[in-house]
Amino acid sequence: MLQQPTLLRTDGVYVYVFNYEGKNKSYRFLRFFENGRCFASKHFDGAEMQKNSLLKIEKKDDSRTFYRNKGNEIIYENWGGSYALYVYNFCTVDSLGLNYNGYKSRSWTSSREIYPQPNRYNFVPIDFKNKTADW
């Protein structure tokens, strides 16, 4: 369950805009739910971010997963994409968005990777019909 106090918001999505393989804009987003569930999208391309894209939480390539928070520190887990790389992702949240600071594999032998410059996810409020995640 979402632990208070925190600036983490569940009434929208956190969106990261970046360039990927020469494409002008790619997007990735995170959506958090009150019940400790998290939806982490893979990147998708588009000339403009569409609300319809952000409403989707069922895409099979994305991660329906869990998170925990302590104050404004967020840790969520998801599949990192390479062989046996299920990872913990470390973030901090403020009133305008979320900083993705790094990750650590769940294995005992790996070390925590910290990004020198965090990826900045900006918050986009959206009125969702489905307020909870049932996975």
- The predicted-structure confidence for 70-110, as pLDDT tens digits, reads as follows 999 999 988 765 555 688 899 999 999 999 999 888 776 67
Cα 124 to Cα 117: distance, rounded to the nearest angstrom: 22
pLDDT for the residue 135: 54
Cα 54 to Cα 124: distance, rounded to the nearest angstrom: 9
For the residues of 28-40, what is the DSSP string, one character each? EEEEE-TTSEEEE
Give the model confidence (pLDDT) of 4-56 as tens digits: 889 999 988 899 888 766 666 788 889 999 999 998 887 766 655 566 666 66
Calculate mean pLDDT across residues 111-118.
82
**Domain definitions of the chain by residue range:** 12-122
Q: Alpha carbon of 9 to those of 5, 96, 106: distances in Å?
A: 11, 10, 26
